[in-house]
Structure 1
Amino acid sequence: MVNHNLAHLEKQISEQRWQNAKTYEKIAPHEYFIDKWNPELFAALKDAIHQYGVKEKFQLTKTSRVYTYKYLYLGGYRYWNIGSVLNRAKHNQSHTPENRQPKQMTLPEV
């Protein structure tokens, strides 16, 4: 059963303007928005990532530093937060293990 707050969050996400990250479009394509553009959605999504995300390692190139981020898999995207920026990238759901799928959540209203 779909959680109503999760459905509401997905609706808000779909209405948000996302900016293409041009600097990384060839090596790590993704989109982002900053907290000032939509503080309420930023806070709700950041909270969902914190509560329901999974930790994974990220390395931009074979010689670059390895970072660990918390990712939330939701609606065909992978979301993560760095400071005042929320990022998302498309992912192939067929390669997403069940434990990456969000559990039933209760999120703050946006």
Structure 2
Amino acid sequence: MEERRLRRSPPVEARRRAREQPWCQEVAGRATAECAAVCCCFPFAVVELVVLAAVGVPAALCRRALRARARCRRASRTAAAKKKEMMGMDSVSKGELQQRHERLKNLQFVPLSAASFQR
């Protein structure tokens, strides 16, 4: 079978190439659109940067300080709990502590001698 192909005439090809190149109106329209975008968006970008500098940065610094404070409190609570546990005072009330103190004050300490260890 013979392959049929349509040949285009040279003037049609020339018009086609001319359409591929941007026309003056397209270039002017594109430049106008870009200019409008920059003119409209630039003030908003400046306002956003000012708000970030005036509000965002101090807020971030405050959040960081609050986290550091909470971390410090948590560490001191943990240290206090460990200290309390080491002293064996977890379940001892203030009254019991005073009673133990009085008993210890009233005890008479007798020095240990070798004779006290003999059976």
Q: Above 0.5 in TM-score?
A: no
Greater Rg by CA: 2
TM-score band, normalised by the shorter chain? Answer: under 0.3
Q: Which has the higher helix share?
A: 2
Higher relative contact order (CA 8 A, sep 6+): 1
Q: Which has the higher strand share?
A: 1
